[in-house]
Structure 1
């Protein structure tokens, strides 16, 4: 069976990677691209680049078994609503939504339409993250006492720094990746957040620095730096790391540590790092294609992702109030979903 997949919007930087992954899968076909009225020219350009047709939204949804939503954060709800009404499974770019209210609405829409909603959290398919999860499950670390993570990258610009389109800055863009793998590895949710944010590295209207100090539901402390702190001239876009300290041992992972440095004095001179490890996006896309074929939820469900959005919402509330904020129990979903 060949699973037919479409791309709903190509506004997100990850669209190129997902298109390449779909084109490389034997059991999937990238059927085409569609875009919002404001971005039709961009959509047509990307369709040509990917070697597929450009469709109007309703026409694409009528041709596919599933779609990957790569729009601005603010447009996630509209695209998911459209796909749900068409009875098409969805893999939505992270974060699921800029607000808990919108995230819940997306989950409810898909539930009522009996379609599966997944969220693009590729670090669950990173081999270092999977090794850490296996170590925790096998009791290698004993009881986990402390977690420290980073997701520091370059400032992406474009709509990412327009709060109306993104919902926020670096907290919105980067926090969810490491929060998700901590919840996935430990089986615990985030119960309390204290956040400090600032704009220090770029002349932009949203925060590019953030430090979150969190407490999990079992009392474990967890700190995260998810800043846009890498300069444009940096040799690699950023990092995704996690250190787990237990009573019996310590595990440190860097999801993008498998790279080599390349020095050039011609063309585009300078030093850059080339990643040679396994591509987590490939696992993410393959899981979605398999989920559509088997009529099952993807590994990361929309219902589970509501929790990540609740952490982000609490972080912004904390930063504004300069005090710790509880992540409301009513907004928590099971970390094992």
Structure 2
């Protein structure tokens, strides 16, 4: 694993320790103290990034800060390593294209960590869409809410933006997957309303039109209070001619309120992280592209960038018109 800057790295490391046919052997980080701490916690070696790239490790999970993904993924590709990159894949189109091209040129696979595709309720809704159970789909309403994570997530130079870049990508990917269609127009209202001292946005509302005529809205706001669980509030409502389905992606939870600890959701049932990493490992073993690609990551990034540009221009924009 390369970096534990993103909190999802902790779950991925836990999962790797239990994944058949895979072993977490090395943790590399530019922060030596963090590297040693995480390596001791997960029973791995603590190396520098250079040592990791020069090793015989086959695949690397990149969980660095958003704006550093591109350089890290390109370095991994040039070292001949397959890569699972934390979302968002990139914060610019140019970086996303550079990552995809580097992996293709090196003959290695690139996957984006869109774990929401593996949530059991989400997957069942996808099956209903694919099976025609909803009839013709007219509209979609989706949310990805959470607390303001603080730290580098609130620094534009490292995060690339705020709530909109942090939370939109998961849901934008789900909508493309559900609808089997690409966004053609994005209109967004983006602001900083809840945490006035931030340098990045903390709320927004996106309206997206797809090639197949479906309209969708996404609310990606950091609108939950500080005591709320930081992750696990993804909902999707699909309106069709024959049925409407409302999905709570993380509905299978125990809600725990501790005396001295923040509230948390303890998920039961299949782990989306375990299913995603299992698919990634299986694909590498078979010499196949993992189900979620770098291109999927780039498409979601394009929606985010179109949203920011739309909010600035106060008019709808076409993601395809954005330039690197």
TM over 0.5: yes
If the length of structure 2 is used for normalisation, what is the TM-score?
0.95
Report what 2:238 is aligned to: 244
Query: Does residue 1:278 correspond to 2:270, yes or no?
Result: yes
Specify every segment of 5 or more residues in structure 2 that has no aligned partner in the other structure, as ranges.
none
- The equivalences for 1:148-297 within 5 A come to 148-202=141-195, 203-234=197-228, 237-264=231-258, 267-268=259-260, 272-297=264-289
Report what 2:46 is aligned to: 54
| CA-to-aligned-CA distance 1:63-97 (integer Å, 9 cap, x gap) | 31100000001111111111111111000011110
Out of 4, 14, 21, which is 1:20 matched to?
14
Shift of 1:32: 1.1
If the length of structure 1 is used for normalisation, what is the TM-score?
0.91
1:187–1:329 CA distance, 2 compared to 1 (3 A): farther
- The equivalences for 1:324-335 within 5 A come to 324-328=316-320
Report what 1:308 is aligned to: 300
Contact 1:230-1:238 at 8 Å conserved across structures:
no
Q: Secondary structure at the match of 2:141?
A: strand
Q: Distance in 1 between matches of 2:277 and 2:86?
A: 11
Query: Does residue 1:89 correspond to 2:82, yes or no?
Result: yes
Q: Distance in 2 between matches of 1:92 and 1:188?
A: 23
Moved more, 236-245 or 184-193: 236-245
Q: What's the RMSD between the two structures over aligned residues? A: 1.6
Specify every segment of 5 or more residues in structure 1 that has no aligned partner in the other structure, as ranges.
1-6, 332-337
Q: Secondary structure at the match of 2:108?
A: coil
1:273–1:25 CA distance, 2 compared to 1 (3 A): closer
Report what 1:321 is aligned to: 313
Contact 2:85-2:113 at 8 Å conserved across structures:
yes
Which stretches of structure 1, 4 residues or more, deviate above 6 A after TM superposition? none
Shift of 1:138: 1.2
